[in-house]
Structure 1
Amino acid sequence: MRITFLGHAGFAVETARSVVVMDPWLTERGAFDSAWMQLPRNHHLAPRVRELLETPGRERFLYVSHEHKDHFDPEFLATLQRRDFTVVIPRFLRSELQDIFAKYGCKRVIACEDGREIPFKGGYLKLYVSEQGTNRDSAVMVRGDGQCFINLNDCKLHDRLARITEEEGPIDVFTAQFSGAIWHPTCYEYSPETYAAISLKKRDSKFEAVARALEVVRPRAYLASAGPACFLDPTLFHLNFEKVNIFPNATTLFRFLEQRLPGAASKYLEPMPGDVLDIGSLDFVSLDQERVTQEGFDAYLRKYADDMAPLFRERRRNMLRAEVDEIHARLRVELQRKLDLLDLHERVGMPLYVELTELPERLLRVDFKGRRVDEVSELRETTRYTMKVSAADMVRVLDRKLTWEDFLLSFRLRLSRSPDVYEPILHGFLGVEIEDMRAFCEGVRSTESQRERTVVSVGQKRFSVQRFCPHQGADLAEGWVEEGKYLVCPRHRWQFDLDDGGRCLMNGSTLCAEPATDVVPEETEKPTVPAPVVEPRV
């Protein structure tokens, strides 16, 4: 088996009789309205990927993990002329991927439920599907030629990895996201010190998740992939050079892993787009000519930005006041439609203020408890959530050129919250499409309805807690304890204070923790072990 790295989270896995192309993101326009660009650039690989998918003689599969445009690239896929290959996608409640590929004209489309195997000559591929709240994602495993590759990409399956490896046996090569892919704290108005502190904590939390995954999977090699991207829009370019943020490079990760997992047998590899790895030997049998080094990073990025400058000039245009007024009115209607479908509106205890930067005197105030959107001239409450965005960026969402989540990931907005507490319902209100709002609310209720409990041991203490995380239902029996009292969710690393009834430090939700004496039959006891303290390196 050979693996060609296609850049970001893209791979082409070739066995003797088959090829599986995974998440090829190759368009020169990047993703999320061109806010994210591939790093290193990989556009030169488009002809190679077309050749792999269009050349007969082997079974050919195209796998798309989820809807995010740094994984699902419609612009590149439209360039494929011969489409006699099989598309493999996860089966989500939201049918967007299925609807798109139903019209694509390929040989067949297989929409897979969680755990489904798709056989091919000499092996099979298998999908793991995860859908909780606003998160829809999947991971894929390919087994062939007596070897195995698991690509977790962005999918947060950390609480399931032990079961997966127990079922599947030895894993040769493993890859999982190690860099941030969220708008917090990037888009939030924090002091530089607070921003750096939050970023460092999030970064090391992500690194810890990778380290624990490696402890469980124990692969022969780990491939650094799924980030970071780079940001070439002049308004975002500074993010590439922040001393501390949530977008670390692979070198920083590897330093962390070498301290965190001393003596680990896994080999850490950072491929460049176009590099080809032989899984048997774990040697690169072919290397791409373009190599990006830390020493040359600054010059490389500035040249890249110069090359892409025309793309961002195209985005700029001045808007007439009448256009801005129309966008303001449309936005108010959009927010009201979302609010009308938000069955959990009474849980949100603060208003949301939305400001078009061209109309700072005409704020839109979303009153969740009153279930109405009003226009006001100023902020009325100290307890509030605010969003500022330009009309030129907002109209792309209203015109359905971007989803709400794609817009949030474009980073072209500013947010603040007081108090600085994560509010999952408000977060869902912003990120979920109108047609998905009811399903979002049903998903929250479904997660909350899980009442099974588990026992956590911390030294001589034992606690009975709710087994599934109230956030998005991760199995806390696969969690761990930090600082002698915080139970950590393996999926999003939320911390629950066992000495305070299992209260979450993020937003006050709780696991209803209580001292455990006798273990009832339905409980599952899994002792957790404190994570080693690792000195962060910037």
Structure 2
Amino acid sequence: MIEIENTSFLKSERLDTADIRIDKKSLKNGINKIGDHFIMYHDEKVVFVVNNICDHNAGRLIQKGENAVCPLHGWVLNLTTLKYDNEIEKTKLKFTEDSEFIYVENVQESIEFPSLFRNIHPCQIDFISHACIRILFNGVSIITDPWLIGSAFMNGWWLKYPPKEDAIDMLKSADIIYISHNHPDHLHVETLKEYVSQDQLIVTANFKSKSSEKVLRHAGFNNIIPLDFKNVYKVKNVDIQFSVLKSGDFRDDSGLYLNVGNKKLLLTVDSNYINSFSLPQNLDVLFTSFAAGASGFPVCFEDYSKEEIDKVIQRNKNAILVKNMDIIGLTTPKIYYPYAGFFTESAARDNIIKEANDKNSVERVRNFINKKYADIKVIDPIKNDTLVLGNDSLLYSRDCKRIYNTDHSYTENYINNYKSGYKENTESVKKYFEQSGFKDNLILVLQLTNDNFEQIGANYIIDFSAASPNIEQVHLDCIPPLMSNPDMDKRILRIKVRTESLMCVIDNFLPWEDLSIGFQCRISRIPNVYNQDFWYHFTNIYIAKKNFRYSAYCGACNVLDQNPKYIH
């Protein structure tokens, strides 16, 4: 029986960095952009200094008048109030000054375990699928985020490389299962219920919302240990210690830092700006996501040209590479291991999405990294799915077949089961919105469609501007006049959605983001701006507690930059 001990806290060490000196002669009254900082200067006094790093995903904020905009995901910072448009506040930097200069505190920290193990037993790392790997050391195995079968996000995501035949035994025999967060490509209930016993030891981050823990307990698992961030946990009698690190973007997401024998591993998973980039140095292996394309924006939005869509997709492919290069620069790994990006749009009905939603390849990642860091070994876990870390690293591919192919018959079986299980129900739809408690100057035009987003079910016009929503079932002919009315004083959000997917969300009170991330809808808007209050309410508030995901609003995490003026 594996036992986990809570031993101590990660050590945090300030690196040797000099404060940044800024000449006061360069400042004008008002907002100043000097190097990597925004400075408010008024009546010959410094009011505040902030950095130009977006608190969401570490993008570089670009000044636009009194605002600063992140080009990665469209977060907007008001440079007067120092609040983002989702009310999250930006932290002011400490500074001192004399008659000539401002001295801005330049704090860069690294973290480390209080003591590092030096056991030289080899550590074996096996790639299983997507974000699922096995770490095997001295007879103890840890498996991360197991998704082995079926789909995620309403049959929109499928495993690009299904697991091999040895994966089921690996999962069943795992000593510890780590769940990073409760998105279904990481906390995949179908996989867990099929192959994991209810008393299996599962560890997850101790999020304030208990988001992962709630889903696991609802699924029947009873041996769950929520881990506090940056505490150091040890496997009793084995030289394995680990710590969970928080995503820096206010979402419920986490990464895992491990000391396994004499090897140091960091898995950032899907975390943005992980641990505010206070990270360990001199890693043996760094694991990060790499592919991009994990969003319904812009491919599910009808207000953009093909050229605009291509531009956003390319921008975000590049952005994730730049982010990973920042992490590499901070952690100086010997080996870089791209993972948590091996999904695809396998269903035939999503071929258009698959063609448009281009993703980074491992080869592109390797070329990008090795241009600057030629000595870092970049692993392709598809070509070599086993890595053994000893005095030297050894790579090879396990000689066994994949369990299945995500071919037409496989995907259609899942989709048809959804269609048979979730049928249109007008009363359920009306009751769902009547009880939603949502009020906004917004009209939702909701159309129930077939696989090709052709209207086959009812059409609803839902006006949220009154004290309680006004819900009207209308003929298709009523929608074009509404969408073209120049005198409309309310915003309009039109969502065409596959019938079975919508009914699954409504019947189970699931997050509406599952529809967009899973490519299950087509969206248009008047005006063409992101209706953040709607998506926040129906993704975070009006959902079953067992499906709760985020403890704070994530701005445009899943829909990215949905304002055309920031695309170019």
Structure 1 length-normalised TM: 0.68
Alpha-carbon distance between aligned partners in 1 of 2:559 and 2:521, rounded to the nearest angstrom: 26
1:69-113 CA deviation, whole Å, 9 max, x = no partner? 211122222234656642101122433532344477768321123
Partner of 1:512: none
- Report the alpha carbon displacement of residue 266 of structure 1 after superposing the two structures with TM: 2.1
SS of the residue corresponding to residue 365 of structure 1 reads strand
Q: 1:143 aligns with which of 247, 259, 265?
A: 259
Q: Give the secondary-structure state (helix, strand or coil) at the position aligned to 1:11.
A: strand
Deviation at 1:404, TM superposition (A): 3.0
- 1:9 corresponding residue in structure 2: 131
Q: Is the 8 A contact 2:245 2:254 kept in 1?
A: yes
The structural deviation recorded for 1:234 is 1.4
Whether the aligned pair in 2 keeps the contact of 1:328 and 1:356 (CA below 8 Å) is no
Q: Structure 2 vs 1, CA of residues 85 and 330 (structure 1 numbering), >3 Å: closer, same or farther?
A: closer
**Cα distance change on mapping 1:153 and 1:440 into 2, 3 Å:** closer
- SS of structure 1 residue aligned to 2:301: coil
CA distance in 1, matches of 2:317, 2:255: 22
Aligned to 1:335: 433
> Residue 362 of structure 1 aligns to which amino acid in structure 2?
N
Counterpart selection for 2:212 from 97, 107, 112: 97
* Structure (1 or 2) with the greater helix fraction: 1
Change (3 A) 1:233 1:336: same
Partner of 1:387: 495
Could you list the per-position Cα deviations for residues 47-86 of structure 1 after superposition, in whole angstroms to 9, with x for gaps in the alignment? 3323532xxxxxx211111111211122222234656642
Contact 1:6 1:274 (C-alpha < 8 Å) held by counterparts = no
Q: 1:386 to 1:80 in 2, by over 3 A?
A: same
Number of aligned pairs?
421
**In the alignment, what sits opposite 1:272?**
382
Q: Which has the higher contact order (CA 8 A, sep 6+)?
A: 2
Tell me if the contact between 1:141 and 1:151 (Cα under 8 Å) persists in the aligned partners.
Answer: yes
For residue 78 of structure 2, what is the aligned residue in structure 1?
A: none
Please give the secondary structure, in 1, of the residue aligned with 2:327.
Answer: helix
Corresponding residue for 2:464?
367
TM-score, length basis structure 2: 0.65
Runs (5+) with no aligned partner, structure 1: 54-59, 293-300, 445-469, 473-490, 496-503, 509-538
Distance (whole Å) between structure 2 residues aligned to residue 50 and residue 442 of structure 1: 30
Could you say which residue in structure 1 is the equivalent of 2:10?
Answer: none
After TM superposition, list the pairs within 5 Å mapping 1:262-411 onto structure 2.
262-272=372-382, 275-280=385-390, 283-289=393-399, 304-312=406-414, 314-315=416-417, 324=424, 327-338=425-436, 340=437, 342=438, 345=439, 350-357=442-449, 358=455, 362-368=459-465, 372-375=469-472, 377-378=478-479, 379-380=482-483, 383-400=491-508, 402-411=510-519
Residue 231 of structure 2 corresponds to which residue in structure 1?
116
* 1:320-353 superposed Cα distances (whole Å, 9 cap, x missing partner): 9xx64xx233223323433x1x5xx55xx54332
CA shift at 1:141, angstroms?
1.2
Tell me: CA distance 1:174–1:372, structure 2 relative to 1, closer, same or farther (3 Å).
Answer: same
The 1:197/1:113 distance shift into structure 2, 3 A limit, reads same
Matched residue, 1:247: 359
Residue 96 of structure 2: aligned partner: none
C-alpha distance 319-219 of structure 1, shift in aligned 2 (>3 A): closer
State the alpha-carbon separation in 2 of the partners of residues 290 and 240 from structure 1. Answer: 28
Percentage of matched positions with identical amino acids: 17
Structure 1 Cα separation of the partners of residues 166 and 362 of structure 2: 21
Query: Which structure 2 residues correspond to residues 52-71 of structure 1 after superposition, within 5 A?
Result: 52-53=173-174, 60-71=175-186
Q: For residues 244-266 of structure 1, give each alpha carbon's deviation from its aligned partner in whole angstroms, at most 9, with x where no partner exists.
A: x353322223333344xx24432
Work out which of the residue numbers 238, 245, 248 in structure 2 matches 1:128.
245
Query: In 2, distance between residues paired with 1:427 and 1:153?
Result: 24
Aligned to 2:326: 212
Q: Which residue of 2 aligns with 1:42?
A: 163
Cα 1:84–1:145 shift into 2, 3 Å: farther
How far does the alpha carbon of each residue in 1:377-419 deviate from its partner, in whole angstroms, 9 at most, with x for none?
3225565322111322211112218543333322111112333
Answer whether contact 1:21 1:63 (CA < 8 A) is retained: yes
CA contact (8 A) 1:4 1:13 kept: yes
Aligned residue type for 1:157: Y
**Equivalent residue in structure 1 for 2:299, among 186, 197, 203:** 186
The one of 53, 63, 77 aligned to 2:192:
77
SS in 2 for 1:118: strand
Instruction: Give yes or no for contact 1:273–1:288 (8 Å, CA) kept in 2.
Output: no
The equivalent of 2:539 in structure 1 is 431
Matches within 5 A, 1:158-197: 158=274, 160-161=276-277, 163-165=278-280, 169-179=281-291, 180-189=293-302, 190-197=304-311
Counterpart code for 1:13: I
Cross-structure match for 1:257: 369
Tell me the amino acid that sits aligned with residue 89 of structure 1: T
Distance in 1 (alpha carbons) for counterparts of 2:181 and 2:216: 13
TM alignment of 1:495-514, pairs within 5 A: none
Quote the RMSD (CA, aligned, Å): 3.7
Question: What whole-Å deviation, never above 9, does each CA across 1:282-302 have from its counterpart, x for those lacking one?
Answer: 63443134799xxxxxxxx9x
Shift of 1:26: 0.6
Q: Where does residue 238 of structure 1 map in the other structure? A: 352
Q: For residue 164 of structure 1, give the secondary structure of its aligned residue in structure 2.
A: coil
What is the Cα deviation at residue 33 of structure 1?
A: 3.1
Residue identity matched to 1:384? I
Superposition deviation, residue 505 in structure 1: 7.4
Q: Secondary structure at the match of 1:183?
A: coil
Work out the CA distance in 1 between the residues paired with 2:352 and 2:399: 28
Distance 1:13 1:318 in 2: 40
2:407, 2:462 → 1: CA distance? 38
CA distance in 1, matches of 2:558, 2:137: 34
- Checking the alignment, whether the CA contact within 8 Å between 2:172 and 2:195 is kept in structure 1 is no
Aligned 8 A contact 1:64 1:71 in 2: yes
Cα contact 1:32–1:409 (8 A) shared by 2: yes
Secondary structure in 2 matching 1:351 = strand
The offset of 1:148, in angstroms, is 1.0
1:420 is matched with 528
Summarize the Cα distance change of 1:310–1:422 in structure 2 as closer, same or farther, 3 Å threshold. Answer: closer
Whole-Å separation in 1 of the counterparts to 2:160 and 2:166? 13
Distance 1:48 1:308, change over 3 A: same
Q: Is the 1:228–1:248 contact (alpha carbons within 8 Å) kept by the matching residues of 2?
A: no
Asked if the contact 1:3–1:13 (Cα under 8 Å) also holds between the matched residues in 2, the reply is yes
Instruction: Give yes or no for the alignment of 1:199 onto 2:199.
Output: no
Q: Aligned partner of 1:337: which letter?
A: Q
Rate the CA distance shift 1:291–1:152 in 2: closer, same or farther, 3 A.
farther
